[in-house]
Each structure stands twice: as C-alpha cells, then as structure tokens.
Amino acid sequence: MLDVLECFSTQDRELTVVEIARRTGMPRTTVHRIVDSLRVLGFLEQEASRERYRLGIKLFELGNTALTNLPLYREARPFVDTLSKMSGEVVHLCVFDGSQMVFVERSEHGSGRPHNTVTTMEATPCHSTGVGKATLAFQDEAVIERIIRLGLHRFTPGTIISPGPLREELARIRARGFAVDECEHEPELRCVAAPIRNSTGKVFAAVSVSGHTRRVTLDRVAELAALVMSHAQLISVRLGFMPDSLPAALDQGGRQHSRHQGGSAGR
C-alpha cells in the first residue's frame, strides 16, 4: 500500500492503475486490489472517469495530525512568532525529509500587514533555498551526493546548478553558521536561514527570515543572521540539544523571548 501511495507526487497528481503497476513493478491485478482497498479507506479518490486516482483527503487529515504532534511544531511556534515580529519579515520553519525541505509553519508580521500564520506541507528544493542550504550543509557526504544526483534545477539566474560551487557554498555555511538565499529560488527575494538540531545534535530542520530585496538588503544580512541563529539555537535547546556554551547573542535572544512570552501570558 505504501509503495502505491508513494507513486503520487506534486508532479504526478493523478495516476491510472496501469501507471501505478509500471512504477511499482507489481502485477496489475494486485495494484487494482490495493487501489480499491485504499479508495474504500479514503486514502485514494477516484476520478469521475473511473480511470485515474489521486491521493484522498484522509491522508491530509493524518498529515495534519502528524504535524501537530511533531515536537518541532509544538516547541518552535512561539520562537517563530517572535522572530517574525522582531524582523518584520516572513519566517519559515522547515524540516528535511531526506530529499527536500517541507514547510511546517509560516508566520508574517510585516509592517502595515495583518498578522498571518499559515501551516502548510509544501516541499521545496535544498540547493536553491536558504532553509535547504542551511540544513544540507550539515548532512553527511552521502546525503549531499544524493541531493546532487537528484538534479540541481535552475529557478532563477542566481540558482547554483553545479556540484562544485554548491559544495563551496555549503562549506561557507558550515563555517559561519547560517545560509543566505540570494534570489536563488525566487527573483528579488533574499532569505537568511539557520539550522536546527535535535537532541542528538543532528541538523534536521531550519528556520529562516525572508523578504523582498528592497527590505532585506545586504546591509541587514548580518543583523538578521544573528537573530535567526539565536532563535534556531533556542529551538534546538527546547528540543533537547545541549550546546557546549550559549553565545551572548543567544542569551540576549532568550531574554527577549522570555519577556515576549511573559507579555503574552499577561494578556
């Protein structure tokens, strides 16, 4: 059943039994039986033509349940909200699924704009986004190689599409502790991101601040990097990560967050 469900993607939204059988290598009769069972359970939906199938709403319900039960989602939400307010820009929280970055939360507190928080499970590439590069930089060489083999697709003129330059960029990220997306995934959008670690110290997620290059200027990168890194560190600590020492910027960020939390509780 999982083999059948994994045939679907954002590119392959609808498939026939024949197409699923070809992708899984299973007999058509076996696929037909599995597909029919998944349809009855609500995991697949059948088109009116009865020839094509797509993922069902039941999977969306399960995904939302998994998301809300994710420790990262629960622990990071106040920090994401605070970071958005302090930066005045859009904040993204993403988790690495082994090949792409999956958005867990998006929060916006822009100037003159209403507070907007959106939870989504959209996936984006690793090589062209700030959160992706911030996470990929701290993965094993085998993982980096697998991402490169999947293809470094171009999204803008600034996208890194060659293995050599990507490896050099990842080395710079490891050295300084944060990543910058210089309009590499979307034109005129600059992003500053930092990695998040779990209790074992493994980088599995990232948080970022992004905005139009008119607002997120090159002069603001250092300031935003300090904010993003401190909040990424705070989230990591909440998840059980024990750093050797907390830098001054982190301590300041922690005090700022504590004051914000206290103010919220008072309301």
Classified by CATH at the fold level, domain 2-62 comes out as Arc Repressor Mutant, subunit A (1.10.10)
> Can you tell me the distance from the alpha carbon of 25 to that of 133, in angstroms, rounded to the nearest whole number?
34
Parse the chain into domains and list their residue ranges. Answer: 2-62, 71-266
pLDDT of residue 248: 43
Q: What is the pLDDT of residue 68?
A: 67
Per residue in 10-52, pLDDT (tens digit) is 677 899 999 999 999 999 999 999 999 999 999 999 987 778 9
In words, the CATH class of domain 71-266 is: alpha beta
Q: What would the pLDDT profile of 50-88 be if each residue is shown by its tens digit?
A: 789 998 888 877 877 776 667 888 889 899 999 999 999
